[in-house]
Amino acid sequence: MNTFLKISIMVLPVFLIIPEAFALGGKDKTSQEQKTVEITGRVRIVGNMPFPEMVISDESGKDWYIPSDEKDKLSPYAQRLLTVRARIEHNDMILANGKKIGIRYMLRDIVIIKNE
């Protein structure tokens, strides 16, 4: 076997493993602290077609996003005040150029406590 082929066989696995190491080193969303909160706010639809979003806007003006699988539960309460208990999940909002512009707070496992 020639020397070039031997070196290629030894070096190739290194180039295959390094990208995987970087991918695995990313932020693990499952390791986020799962915190439960009570939120009182107005249920609103924000955004525009084809991507409307449902949020609960609290008194401080913070928007708590509702995932699509929970929208049916809260849609009857649109434009009304509501108190819910839910688990928080937060995701970084990143533009196409890689710039981080904030955090999107998503509510999971929503339980309606009080309808005002």
Measured distance CA(80)–CA(101) in Å, rounded: 29
- Whether residue 42 is predicted with pLDDT greater than 90 in this model: the reply is yes
Contact 66/74 with Cβ under 8 angstroms?
A: yes
| Residue 116 binned pLDDT confidence (cut-offs 50, 70, 90) | confident
pLDDT reported for residue 43? 94
* Mean residue pLDDT across the chain: 81
Contact 106/91 with Cβ under 8 angstroms?
A: yes
Q: Domain of 37: which CATH number?
A: 2.40.50
| Residue 50 binned pLDDT confidence (cut-offs 50, 70, 90) | confident
Pairing type for strands 100-115 and 63-66 reads parallel
pLDDT reported for residue 33? 57
* Structural domain includes residue 7: no
Look up the domain containing 67 and give its range: 29-115
- Whether residue 19 is predicted with pLDDT greater than 60 in this model: the reply is no
Q: Where are the beta strands (DSSP E) in 1-116?
A: 35-46, 53-58, 63-66, 81-94, 100-115
pTM: 0.66
Measured distance CA(106)–CA(65) in Å, rounded: 5
pLDDT reported for residue 26? 44
* Structural domain includes residue 75: yes
- Whether residue 23 is predicted with pLDDT greater than 50 in this model: the reply is no
Structural domain count, the chain: 1
Summarize pLDDT for 63-107 with one digit per residue, the tens: 999 999 999 999 999 999 999 999 999 889 899 999 999 889 999
* Structural domain includes residue 51: yes
* Structural domain includes residue 106: yes
Contact 62/102 with Cβ under 8 angstroms?
A: no
pLDDT reported for residue 5? 61
